[in-house]
Amino acid sequence: GAVVSQHPSRVICKSGTSVKIECRSLDFQATTMFWYRQFPKQSLMLMATSNEGSKATYEQGVEKDKFLINHASLTLSTLTVTSAHPEDSSFYICSARALGGYNEKLFFGSGTQLSVL
Amino acid sequence: SQQGEEDPQALSIQEGENATMNCSYKTSINNLQWYRQNSGRGLVHLILIRSNEREKHSGRLRVTLDTSKKSSSLLITASRAADTASYFCATDLSYSGAGSYQLTFGKGTKLSVIP
């Protein structure tokens, strides 16, 4: 099956620093990648949708300048949490939708646990 | 607002028993999907049922969909300890006037299977 690789799996950083999370589709081309945030015992909250070569579409309430998304190729999307603060601590998950065909299901990365001290 | 709502929030059963989780949603859908998440990990797609389907099977999984009641159920038969995870339903609102592809997740049911 399709594999989405997400790195790092865990990151601890000081307040004020920036953190970059990578999401790669390893064996397929992803027309669209999604970034989610998940709090403990909560559902996934969609943060933004990114399409290769175009600007990401952010959900209401998500700060574009704080959560920078770059989708430079059909296999790579990155999320950069800029000037991270303790309230940004969360579990971030990416997912990808395959290019072509009638692809309705998503393939997920394994998630990144961000802890901001 | 949350499109899908799972019920129960938590379920604890003995190995070998069946586990049933329910999902209710609010608006018309293109399809409904169930995903599984192990603690601290990403989600894994389990099964997809389209709006014109009523029941679907995949191994020990059985999914039903009642569009008149806007609800779905996931049944795991003969549960195993390895089935312990959180299960989420997700509704695909595509082709429903909701714009581009969009998958909305419920809050999930945490299933614990006791050996």
The 10s digit of each residue's pLDDT in A29-76 is 887 899 999 988 788 899 999 888 788 999 999 999 999 999 888 899
CA trace torsion A79, B98, B92, B73 (10° rounding): 130
The nearest alpha carbon in chain A to B110 belongs to A41
What Cα–Cα distance (Å) separates residue A98 from each residue in A45, B6, B7, B47? Answer: 21, 27, 30, 17
Q: Report residue A112 as tokens.
A: 């990144």
- 3-class DSSP state of B44: strand
Residues of A in contact with B1 (CB under 8 A): none
Q: Quick one: average pLDDT of B50-66?
A: 96
pLDDT digits (tens, 9 = 90+) for B39-57: 889 999 999 999 999 999 9
Residues of A in contact with B2 (CB under 8 A): 43
Q: Are A16 and A103 in contact (CB under 8 A)?
A: no
Across the interface, whether the CB atoms of A104 and B42 are under 8 A apart is answered no
